[in-house]
Structure 1
Amino acid sequence: GGSGATYQYQQSQQPVQQQRTSTIKLVDPYQKCSAKRKCFDHNGSSGGSSGVESVKVGAPLGGGPATTAKTVAHGKVALGGGPHNTTKGTNSAQADGDYQLVQHEVLYSLTAQYEVLEFLGRGTFGQVVKCWKKGTNDIVAIKILKNHPSYARQGQIEVGILTRLSQENADEYNFVRAFECFQHKNHTCLVFEMLEQNLYDFLKQNKFSPLPLKFIRPILQQVLTALLKLKQLGLIHADLKPENIMLVDPVRQPYRVKVIDFGSASHVSKVVCNTYLQSRYYRAPEIILGLPFSEAIDMWSLGCVIAELFLGWPLYPGSSEYDQIRYISQTQGIPAEHMLNSATKTTKFFYRDNESTYPFWRLKTPEEHEGETGIKSKEARKYIFNCLDDMGQVNVPTELEGGELLAEKADRREFIDLLKRMLTMDQERRISPGEALQHSFVVLHHLLDYPHCSNVKSSMQMMEVCRRPAPPYATAAAVSQAQAIPPSLMPNYVHSTNGSVTLTFNNQITNQVRIVKQDLGYIEVGFI
């Protein structure tokens, strides 16, 4: 609960053009929608061209999701996240293009052998497995793409983007490190560093409890840093969500995060206006409406992510694109006239009344939309806000008083101010990553008046830690990397898997050698 807020257990069907008073409605989400995530469609239904259903690229090494196993021919165990149709004979591919994995199977690249240990997750792109790099202590995550032609082109784009990102410092800009790409039985395999846990699983593990602002801030700062680099490179991630933001090592590096999954990414210059992108809960208005778009769609998604961390529940958990734009409009007002006039999909969700006074557009009622499409509107929100400012009133810690309470209120004001700038409906006016990194909420200017408050002290300490490039210790994996990288990899190494896919990771490998040498220096002076 929160101070000064009124909660009502009911759904409002009043027109969104009415004056939005400062009222918050609390809806029981466990009665209104199942706990299963249904935000991952890219075409208005579950699944899609590049959505991910339940992929945990970095599940905890010690206790990730239970692996579903079943016995197949020759007494081997097939890995998977659900029922499979066992193929007969020696055909290794599923009917849908997925590779039929077998536990302890070895995947061969030109330079390494990877033993399959555990199934981690499945998406429309393919599947992800945890593997041991034989001869080392390294555990990696390998993404095995489907071999259908429809996924081959997107796989080539992902490889190209990873190649470009491999020329940057992945740790400095908070991207997952990609080690190599190879072909295994006509399936493209991408090898990544193994990370701990994604933010959705972290929220789930903590029973969807709201996250304090002092923890949201370093996560936000790190993802903004990644988005700033992507913007500089002319790239759009296009699928930012809690599942694609990974905690690196919660024990030794609390709230250190990295961005993963560039399977939906594209170059700004090559975007197609009518394509479906982004998981629905995090989909920007310009994508829903069919407007030209840019890297600003990632900022909208990140705004939805930090709102979810703050609330413990998605801000706009629409079960359809209509519900998605309805939720957004009920809280933030309908999109601007010029947006609705220019968009290609406006009439799917809005009516234009040329005889009425301004505004000319109004949102279709749930009944009108259902009558046209047969799609029934649902209510899946935990909180129904009449404006984003109302978010600052929920989940206020009751134990705070004096300076601590004043500091919390000041922090909430700045958080909501930044959130509103990130969720600006018009992408041309939406805040950029560089501007957001200079916002008071991130740089803590507003807390300088409360230097003795314990929460302020810990907030400043956490921001200092998240800005450090690497902790002063070496892991066993770092030592093994020093032993495992052969001299043959030190020259410019180019591995061409076919005529159209060429991957170069020599800069990334050189980077790893530099990091390992630094870690070995710490070993010599006794830090571990």
Structure 2
Amino acid sequence: MSTSCFMDDVMGIQGEGAYAQVIKCVNVNTSEVVAIKIHKGQDEESFQHELEIIQAVRALDPDKKNIVRFIEVFRSDCLACMAFEMLDRSLLDLMDERNGLPLSLNEIRPITHQILVALEALNSIGIMHRDLKPNNIMLVNHREEPFRIKVIDFGMALPIWRREDTEIIQNLSYRAPEVNLGLPLSEAVDMWSVGCIMAHLYFGYSLFPYKCPYNWMETVLCLLGWPSNEMLLAGKYSRKFFIFDPGIGWRLRTPGEYRKENHVKRVFSGVSCYNLECEVVNGRVKQNDLEYKDRMVFLDLLKSCLQLEAQNRIIPSDALTHHYVTMVHMVDSLETSSYGDNALDLMVVSPLDNLDETTGPLNSETSNKECDSLGDFSKHFVTKSSPLETWRESSRSQTSETNPDEESDCGWGYSKFSHANKPKHDCSHKSSTATAPCNDGVTEQCSLSKTKEMDSPRNTGGTGSIDKATADVGQTDGAAASVPSNFSNKSAINPMDKDDVKMSPEEAPQKNIFQKARNIFRRVWEWVDTGR
């Protein structure tokens, strides 16, 4: 690392967090505006970890895989610095500018698709991000390319095989259940975060509370139901939230019990009694039949991301073939519907015909260069088998055992959150707010439903949030092609079968945008049917 010319012309501070500061600079030699991340303190280990992750990610094309471009690393006044391409603003900034006004389904689609492309690429080289949230998703240039995004901040990223189950990661609003319960972690934590981001963009606020883990757990139980006995028995942190009562099984602790067990001064409690399907289906006025059909397909993908058990969560390659992303369910209405026309226009920044491109290194020359620069480090990114089945098998032998924790429920009957009496979803009660008395007689209430997200610390611009570390990727040249091996809906009916002429992209008419779209859908369904 050497001193760079970037620091000669500082244009302002873009954001600041606990671990680093991002400033906007100009390269005096090239006049390129860049974002410089300056690591604070002497935490050399964290800096080196982030640098290693970035070097591994450089094997990917930053533009095609929607990952921020890394430029160089250098030191200035003994401070470790990283230079990245300058981006526009984060999704969180965009939502703040809109005063919480939700995005349309057509606007959410290209964002979701681009995040999935980035995750599939990262998984292909054995990396999980572990810190996806709106302020780590950056708009590239919203005025010129609406809703084109890039993923930033690899400070929390890890090789997939390093699946710590004792580390609390992720912002609470986007944190997967296995993190709070203390279960083995996998790349599935990122798909949970994708679901949370989709919900935030759809509703205009965070689906899950961001202040209190207890209130977060209440909301999860109300929205998605209860974790399995296997999860609760295997979780290292399950007893922070739950008590096993021999009479009724697992039940949620009262706020007072939670406070006493976890030594916290204040506990937020109370959720609106609604479920996910009710909120998505009834949360907006129906525009037309096509929009409503699109809404139901969106709900299906959202529910696939927000599965409580990690092994049941959809994976990026399958999500990329989901009908919400491919728009297959709208193919017959594209030529007659303004809604379909708008959907096609907004997907320009995220073309579906790139699905067959490789997620691996761009070419052999680039790959060899990266291997030379990484040395033996690249071997650490080999994906190993998931430990989820291990804990499932070990927990099965414990399901018949009685939990030694037999604390009383303090006599006030918090049985509505017992495993034996799960809360029933009722759309008619979705506006009610629960109030929970505590052990000491104090009543605490928190109406956290439909509250806006207040991530802290958060970035005010530049390349995005820097509350841990903002890592990015360098650009390489070349291209290669392969098709993702995992596809869902293989048994679905091909809507293009009615066409008796098989058309390739080269033969397709280039003058009609709708015909281009139909050719894209044809290619997607050919991949699905053949299982390529």
Q: Same fold (TM over 0.5)?
A: yes
Post-superposition offset of 1:368: 2.6
Structure 2 unmatched ranges of 5 or more = 355-367, 378-470, 479-532
Q: Which residue of 2 aligns with 1:376?
A: 266
| 2:304 pairs with 1:411 | no
Change over 3 Å in CA distance of 1:494–1:414 after alignment to 2? closer
Change over 3 Å in CA distance of 1:370–1:337 after alignment to 2? same
| 2:251 pairs with 1:362 | yes
| 2:477 pairs with 1:511 | yes
| 2:316 pairs with 1:433 | yes
Change over 3 Å in CA distance of 1:411–1:110 after alignment to 2? same
Letter in 1 for 2:189: I
Contact between 1:125 and 1:145, CA under 8 Å: does it hold in 2?
Answer: yes
| 2:5 pairs with 1:116 | no
Distance in 2 of aligned mates of 1:460 and 1:439: 16
Contact between 2:330 and 2:340, CA under 8 Å: does it hold in 1?
Answer: yes
Match among 287, 302, 306 for residue 423 of structure 1:
306
Give the ranges of 4+ consecutive aligned residues of structure 1 lying more than 6 Å apart after TM superposition: 491-496
Post-superposition offset of 1:186: 2.5
| 2:112 pairs with 1:146 | no
Distance in 2 of aligned mates of 1:239 and 1:493: 25
Deviation by residue 1:83-139 (Cα, 9 ceiling, x = unmatched): xxxxxxxxxxxxxxxxxxxxxxxx973576542210111112211111111122210
Distance in 2 of aligned mates of 1:186 and 1:336: 51
Contact between 1:221 and 1:442, CA under 8 Å: does it hold in 2?
Answer: yes
SS of the equivalent of 2:153 reads coil
Contact between 1:369 and 1:375, CA under 8 Å: does it hold in 2?
Answer: no
Distance in 2 of aligned mates of 1:226 and 1:509: 15
Deviation by residue 1:221-244 (Cα, 9 ceiling, x = unmatched): 000000101111111111100000
Post-superposition offset of 1:167: 1.8
Q: Which residue of 1 aligns with 2:337?
A: 453
Change over 3 Å in CA distance of 1:137–1:433 after alignment to 2? same
Residues 270-349 of structure 1: pairs in structure 2 closer than 5 A = 270-349=162-241
Distance in 2 of aligned mates of 1:209 and 1:509: 35
Residues 45-84 of structure 1: pairs in structure 2 closer than 5 A = none
Distance in 2 of aligned mates of 1:157 and 1:119: 24
Contact between 2:214 and 2:268, CA under 8 Å: does it hold in 1?
Answer: no
Contact between 2:71 and 2:83, CA under 8 Å: does it hold in 1?
Answer: yes
Contact between 1:147 and 1:186, CA under 8 Å: does it hold in 2?
Answer: no
Report % sequence identity. Answer: 34
Residues 123-138 of structure 1: pairs in structure 2 closer than 5 A = 123-138=17-32
Letter in 1 for 2:350: C
Change over 3 Å in CA distance of 1:353–1:217 after alignment to 2? same
Contact between 2:60 and 2:121, CA under 8 Å: does it hold in 1?
Answer: no
If the length of structure 2 is used for normalisation, what is the TM-score?
0.65
RMSD: 2.9
Match among 87, 103, 109 for residue 195 of structure 1:
87
Distance in 2 of aligned mates of 1:430 and 1:177: 29
Distance in 2 of aligned mates of 1:138 and 1:182: 17
Contact between 1:318 and 1:327, CA under 8 Å: does it hold in 2?
Answer: no
Structure 1 unmatched ranges of 5 or more = 1-106, 471-490, 513-528
Distance in 1 of aligned mates of 2:65 and 2:349: 15
Q: Which residue of 1 aligns with 2:391?
A: none
SS of the equivalent of 2:317 reads helix
Residues 214-233 of structure 1: pairs in structure 2 closer than 5 A = 214-233=106-125
Match among 463, 482, 492 for residue 347 of structure 2:
463
Letter in 2 for 1:216: I
Contact between 1:319 and 1:380, CA under 8 Å: does it hold in 2?
Answer: no
Change over 3 Å in CA distance of 1:493–1:227 after alignment to 2? closer
Change over 3 Å in CA distance of 1:289–1:435 after alignment to 2? same
Letter in 1 for 2:112: L
Distance in 2 of aligned mates of 1:113 and 1:468: 40
SS of the equivalent of 1:175 reads coil
